[in-house]
Structure 1
Amino acid sequence: METPLWMKTFVTVVDLQSFSRAAEILGMTQSSVSRQISALERHLGVAVLKRTTRSLALTAEGTLFYEAAQKALAAIEEAETSIGRSETLSGVVRITAPLTLAQARLIGFIAEFQRSHPKIQVELKVSDHALNLVADHLDLAVRVGQIGDSSNLVRRVGVTHRVMVAAPAYLAAAGTPRRPVDLRDHNCITYALLSTGTNWHLQGHPPVAVQGNFRADSPDALRAAALSGLGIAVNARWLFEEDLASGRLVELLPDHPPVDMPIHLVMPPTRHVAARVRALSAHLVGAFQRDPLLRSD
């Protein structure tokens, strides 16, 4: 039994959290996968997985071996690629991204990639909160907004052009703001995850402190509230593009749009990045730059 096969089987089981799915990906039977893990545990002299009928969890020793195995497999893949012996890219890439960006753009970008690399399995975890890449065993994150001090590998790949909107029914009842300061007299729908809180930062104007009676931690909820005529909302233009085109929402203060937000690709701090992760990252960089609502000018 070759050590890389132990590693590959173990890492695939952990990534997919399933013996049966790992067997399908690896072209093995489930019993063969189980034997590989058992052989690995005998070789190491410790248990690497806690198995129940419903879940899998890494032991402390399993966590250490998983991190080392990932680096070792990436190094082997890199060595094979460097001498031209790498076969078609395969394996699992685990990625996280905000829900609305995933729905509006990212899933389409990933589908393009998988048409060229059908043996790569993508596990997408959608969350508007910044997940811990190491603790959640993630290969890649797409994040909107500023990235603070971090040991992660960070690359800016695009920008979120934001827009201020309201429904015609709201404007008919409350009036249309003509200047940024007019926002103080309006019901503003605020985003709970915005780092600047209830201070809206507009281009060419000092921040405006706004208030309102509705606050949510989901861009989809902000959009729904705006469409219902509840008040004025700010978020990504791509979130509202169909509503603006149909007239269901109206853009406000176009001379002072909300400041843009950067989009970054983030990877865990490691010296070795698997070829499949590098390939997907490169594809996403190109896809973001080709999209007129996402590319950096």
Structure 2
Amino acid sequence: MNEISIWMRSFVAVANAGSFSAAANQIGVTQSTISKQIVGLERHLGTQLFRRTTRSLALTADGMLFLEGALRALAAIDEAESLVGLVTNIQGTVRMTCPLSLAESRIIKMIGRFLERHPKMEIDLQLSDHALNLVSDNLDLAIRVGQLGDSRLTARKIGMARRVIVASPDYLDKMGRPTKPADLRRHNCISYTLLSTGSRWQFVGGEAAVVSGNFRADSPHGLRAATLAGIGIAANAHWLFEQELASGALEIVLPNFELLPMPIHAVLPSGRFVNARTRALLDHLVDEFVRDPLLSTRTSVPT
């Protein structure tokens, strides 16, 4: 990698991170090193790229123009490297975030297989059911389930989360088994408060049920625990209840009615070039999703 390319990568890192220290930590060099690289780049270009004060750092007009060109140039370099096989030797760290239940059920195993193929890679995984900010949290990639609320994000749909309605046999023996969506109105339904559709459960084909109950949770794990405790009926991703359904601790309610699945997106920071290591991980996850019947866009939910 030539000196100009190194300077450009440092420049993009500083522009995205908003500070020399944060960019240095991201790249793995000292703050002094990255400062010298930016100065070298500014001298080479004959212009000031950042407006610096003791309290802030901002791109100049020339800096904003150069950022656009640098992103295109670095993306082209990474693309050229991948075409000649250098992607097989990728190394470095990808910082990503993913919902906890999906990570436990699927993503961590997928990452494990990725690391077997790329032993020089490191994955820094932050688990959260809340949407983290990719820029302020310095993340390269996010996997998000459900509708995206920010249209400015750079997103790629990589799968669908198939959902089921479940309850414990004890609850159903006591309260009865619904035979149609309208029957859910007479049951205690557990709400997942982070779901954008709230108390409206939408089925494939257009039918819907507005549900209510005396328990709600902002965590899929809390939702599952409440269902196992016999509090009521819950709806969430099929993968969340796999083990409990297999053991008989939970059973599927309304097996002849399928809930609308939720889209799964890979989200990237807007305006940031996608480096080879992030792209390699994303491509790996896409391949894994295609083969998983609970994640793929090609198959229906198992019963």
Q: 2:36 aligns with which of 24, 36, 39?
A: 39
2:71·2:272 contact (CA, 8 Å) conserved in 1?
A: no
1:100 aligns with 2:97: no
CA distance in 2, matches of 1:249, 1:67: 53
CA distance in 2, matches of 1:174, 1:67: 61
1:77 aligns with 2:74: no
CA distance in 2, matches of 1:279, 1:86: 7
CA distance in 2, matches of 1:48, 1:115: 44
CA distance in 2, matches of 1:166, 1:187: 10
**1:1-297 to 2 correspondence within 5 Å?**
2-5=3-6, 23=28, 33-40=30-37, 43=40, 59-60=57-58, 73-82=74-83, 88-147=89-148, 150-204=151-205, 206-270=207-271, 272-297=273-298
CA distance in 2, matches of 1:259, 1:93: 32
148-157 vs 95-104, which moves further: 148-157
Percent of residue pairs bearing the same amino acid type: 48
CA gap of 1:58–1:85, structure 2 versus 1, over 3 A, is: farther
How many residues are matched?
Answer: 284
C-alpha displacement at 1:169, in angstroms? Answer: 1.9
CA distance in 2, matches of 1:148, 1:170: 35
2:154·2:270 contact (CA, 8 Å) conserved in 1?
A: yes
Deviation string 1:112-143 (CA, Å, 9 cap, x unpaired) is 11111112222222222223333333222211
Letter in 1 for 2:287: G
Secondary structure of 1:94 counterpart: strand
2:95·2:139 contact (CA, 8 Å) conserved in 1?
A: yes
CA distance in 2, matches of 1:271, 1:167: 47
Q: CA RMSD in A?
A: 3.5
Letter in 2 for 1:244: L
- Which residue pairs with 1:27 in the alignment? none
CA distance in 1, matches of 2:137, 2:77: 23
C-alpha displacement at 1:176, in angstroms? Answer: 1.9
CA gap of 1:101–1:159, structure 2 versus 1, over 3 A, is: same
CA gap of 1:17–1:242, structure 2 versus 1, over 3 A, is: farther
CA gap of 1:139–1:72, structure 2 versus 1, over 3 A, is: farther
2:185·2:209 contact (CA, 8 Å) conserved in 1?
A: yes
CA distance in 1, matches of 2:51, 2:69: 13
CA gap of 1:72–1:109, structure 2 versus 1, over 3 A, is: same
Deviation string 1:166-189 (CA, Å, 9 cap, x unpaired) is 112212322222221111111110
TM-score, reference length from structure 1 = 0.79
CA distance in 1, matches of 2:103, 2:57: 32
Letter in 1 for 2:121: I
CA distance in 1, matches of 2:269, 2:27: 23
CA gap of 1:209–1:122, structure 2 versus 1, over 3 A, is: same
1:6·1:36 contact (CA, 8 Å) conserved in 2?
A: no
CA gap of 1:175–1:87, structure 2 versus 1, over 3 A, is: closer
2:168·2:249 contact (CA, 8 Å) conserved in 1?
A: yes
CA distance in 2, matches of 1:251, 1:7: 54
2:87·2:280 contact (CA, 8 Å) conserved in 1?
A: no
Secondary structure of 2:89 counterpart: coil
Letter in 2 for 1:254: P
CA gap of 1:98–1:58, structure 2 versus 1, over 3 A, is: farther
2:168·2:228 contact (CA, 8 Å) conserved in 1?
A: yes
C-alpha displacement at 1:221, in angstroms? Answer: 0.7
Secondary structure of 2:158 counterpart: strand
Deviation string 1:26-72 (CA, Å, 9 cap, x unpaired) is xxxx7xx354135346556899999xxxxxx9844599799987666
TM-score, reference length from structure 2 = 0.78
1:190·1:233 contact (CA, 8 Å) conserved in 2?
A: yes
1:159·1:260 contact (CA, 8 Å) conserved in 2?
A: yes
Secondary structure of 2:296 counterpart: coil
2:24·2:34 contact (CA, 8 Å) conserved in 1?
A: no
Letter in 1 for 2:36: A
Deviation string 1:236-260 (CA, Å, 9 cap, x unpaired) is 1111010011011111111113221
Letter in 2 for 1:200: W
Structure 2 residue runs without a partner (length 5+)? 43-47, 299-303
Secondary structure of 2:34 counterpart: helix
CA gap of 1:233–1:147, structure 2 versus 1, over 3 A, is: same
